Structure 1
Amino acid sequence: MSSLERLTVLGAGVLGGQIAWHSAFKGKTVAVYDIAQDAIDRCRAAHEQYAAIYRSEVGASDADMTATRQRLTYGTDLATAVAEADLVIEAVPEIPHVKTAVYEEMAGLLPKDTLVATNSSTLLPRDFASATGRPDKFCALHFANMIWAMNYTEVMPHPRTSRETLTAVTEFAVEIGMVPIPLRKEQNGYVANSWVVPLLNAAQTLVTNGVATHEDVDRTYLLTGAKVGPFGMIDMIGMETCHNVLTYWGSVRGDAQMNANADYIKTHFLDRGFLGLQTGRGYYEYPDPAFERPGFLAVPDISVVPDLVTLMTTQTEALA
């Protein structure tokens, strides 16, 4: 059994909010920190949505939800948020200099025995170990979106992570109901995002370049038996995170298509305030996304064939 009972989550975004809520549901005392009060307010609202989800999908009772809320606190003061933490999980934007700045600010505020983990989805823990001021007490602990259903977490050390830290953090993961996925080597993208990011980037390329609509891309995926397609995934991950990942790796790799995909998300969604599932609108509108409606995967009436042919020939004729 770990000694990690008091958790602080840095970053009240989509996944940070889920980690906080789920950990509190599993009995941990949780402080949620964000630099912005509006992010805290959105997180509180999301937690009320999670209460309904946990009742319907997890079988939680009203008493469970009341106890979960009582274990949660929220705030915008970093010193207060980490003052009693046994474990801090960083879930701030996927931008290296932002993460580094948070670690450097926090380093002098932590109790001496506090462990720190990054929930980064694509960046290596070695990149931030020194900034934490306690590299031996630092590793990666990456959770999946929809944590209540996708209950795994990827544990990745860097060369200076101690065995004791890995033991305690992995025990913590098990205590909150996660399947630990141990990484044997450092890998950008960990396990899941090593295949998820290429998948979502390829799907976004089809839309950015006008090859297909997001609905039709998702149909090709959902017809394999999956419950959510690439664009449903993008909505769940959140437009801001997807934009940050594509922007960073597009720059690092000199990938013009990846940069174009990031620009598409910025122009069509972020600039319009559409952040995905958390704001009720991304590629789909929530809580009733089109891909969950009856008929989304149905064979169409033959009368629509002329319209489909028009879609296929318009650009071809223009290029002739």
Structure 2
Amino acid sequence: MAELQNLTVIGSGVLGSQIAFQAAYFGKNVTVYDISDEIVAKLPAKWERLSQLYVRDMAATPEQLDAARARLSETTDLAAALADADVVIEAVPENLELKRKVWAQIGAAAPSGTLFCTNSSTLLPSAIADATGHPERFLALHFANEVWRNNTGEVMGHAGTDPAAVTAVLQFAGEIGMVPIHVEKEQPGYILNTLLVPLLSAATHLWINGVAEVEDIDKTWRTATGSPLGPFQILDHVGMETLYQINLNTGTEESKRVAERVKTEYIDKGYLGMDSGRGFYTYE
């Protein structure tokens, strides 16, 4: 397959914006699509914040950051966003019905040959692939939050994915500064979230059942394991919307209670996690 130079990112939330900036920083031409002018208008502020983090963590120079921003464009026109796409990465909320609807629109509008990647945290590619109309070109490329530091790129196809597409996306992941990880068999949560989600679920269940406060749960984990972050600090990186959707879709009584509390005490008040300045903790 030809080099994947032109990337379209669908969804400009926490991970969508990070993926876009990371790819542009490593030389790709990136178009970011979102559903409203109001959302798109907030992207320059996100680019500025990410620029500061790249200076802090990657010693990025002004010249590198200017070049990255010059490779970024934003639009609310899906057809325009997809017109030259070699690869599409979708990063919309973790809801199967929504993802299938979005992928049906992408599949109908994208050029022939465009590769399709979902960044879904928990959903299997096989649950979405047929909605695209081109399942042989559909697979998952999963990023950890703070992609420039926690830079795993987990690549997972489904039974009908063309092996050449898997190879091309593994190469693309390496080209944008990720460590490509080939997940050889469909697994809900890939490798990373298969390990991480049980920890986060245990923490939220301790919280919802009144066993301990957020700060004490985090303190216990950090102190006993030497981890730099507790589970609720990790959840602030992940974002409240993702936490809400995952618990809403899990179906257990405890998870439903977690989802309800997250919505009423955090999302409804605009406390969406680190990216908004407040989640379980408050940030500068």
The TM-score with structure 1 as length reference comes to 0.86
* 1:122 paired to 2:122: yes
Q: Pick from 265, 271, 277 the counterpart of residue 262 of structure 2.
A: 265
Instruction: Judge conservation of contact 1:90–1:117 (CA < 8 Å) in 2.
Output: yes
Q: Report whether the alignment pairs 1:284 with 2:281.
A: yes
**Structure 1 outlier segments of 4+, above 6 Å:** none
Q: Return closer, same or farther for 1:208/1:41 CA change in 2, 3 Å cut-off.
A: farther
Q: Residues 60-83 of structure 1: CA distance to partner in whole angstroms, max 9, x if unpaired?
A: 000111001000001111001011
SS at match of 1:108: helix
Partner of 1:308: none
Q: Is the 8 A contact 1:2 1:171 kept in 2?
A: no
Structure 1 equivalent of residue 111 of structure 2: 111
Alignment of structure 1 residues 37-56 onto 2, 5 Å: 37-56=37-56
Offset, 1:278? 1.2
Q: For 1:201 and 1:270, how far apart are their aligned partners in 2?
A: 18
Aligned equivalent of 2:132: 132
- Aligned pair 1:73/2:62, yes or no? no
Q: Output the amino acid matched with 1:164.
A: A
**How far did residue 180 of structure 1 move?**
1.4
Distance 1:172 1:90 in 2: 15
Q: 1:237 is matched with which residue?
A: 238
Write out per-residue CA displacement over residues 152-175 of structure 1, whole angstroms, 9 at most, x where no aligned residue: 011111011011101110000011
1:133-282 matches, cutoff 5 A? 133-223=133-223, 224-250=225-251, 255-282=252-279
What residue identity is the alignment partner of 1:194? Answer: T
1:61 equivalent to 2:57? Answer no
| Amino acid in structure 2 at the alignment position of 1:71 | R
Distance 2:37 2:197 in 1: 30
Shift of 1:40: 2.2
Distance 2:44 2:175 in 1: 24
How far apart are residue 196 of structure 1 and its match? 1.6
Contact 1:25 1:64 in 2 (8 A): yes
Please give the secondary structure, in 2, of the residue aligned with 1:31.
strand
Q: What secondary structure does 1:211 align onto? A: coil
Task: Calculate the aligned-residue CA RMSD, in Å.
Answer: 1.2
CA distance in 1, matches of 2:196, 2:36: 29
State the distance in 1 between where 2:14 and 2:43 align.
8
Report the Cα offset of residue 2 of structure 1.
5.7
Letter in 1 for 2:73: T
Cα-to-partner distance string for 1:206-229 (whole Å, 9 max, x where unaligned): 111211111111101111221111
Amino acid at match of 2:256: N
Amino acid at match of 2:200: L
AA aligned opposite 1:282: G
Three-state SS of the structure 2 residue aligned to 1:101 is helix
Aligned length: 283
Runs of at least 5 residues in structure 2 that lack an aligned partner in the other structure:
none
Q: Which amino acid aligns with 2:266?
A: F
Partners of 1:241 and 1:39 in 2: CA distance: 18
Letter in 1 for 2:226: G
TM-score normalized with structure 2 length: 0.97
Distance 2:29 2:180 in 1: 21
- Check whether the contact 2:115–2:165 (CA below 8 A) recurs between aligned residues: yes
Provide the C-alpha distance between the structure 1 equivalents of 2:40 and 2:234, rounded to a whole number of angstroms: 23
Question: Unaligned stretches of 5+ in structure 1?
Answer: 288-320
Identity fraction in percent: 47
CA-to-aligned-CA distance 1:5-46 (integer Å, 9 cap, x gap): 000000000001100000000000000011133332333322
**Aligned partners of 2:9 and 2:20 also within 8 Å:** yes
Q: Which has the larger radius of gyration?
A: 1
In structure 2, what is the Cα distance between the partners aligned to 1:265 and 1:202?
15
Which amino acid letter does the alignment assign opposite residue 257 of structure 1? E
Question: Contact 1:13/1:43 (CA < 8 Å) preserved in 2?
Answer: no
1:201 Cα deviation (Å)? 1.4
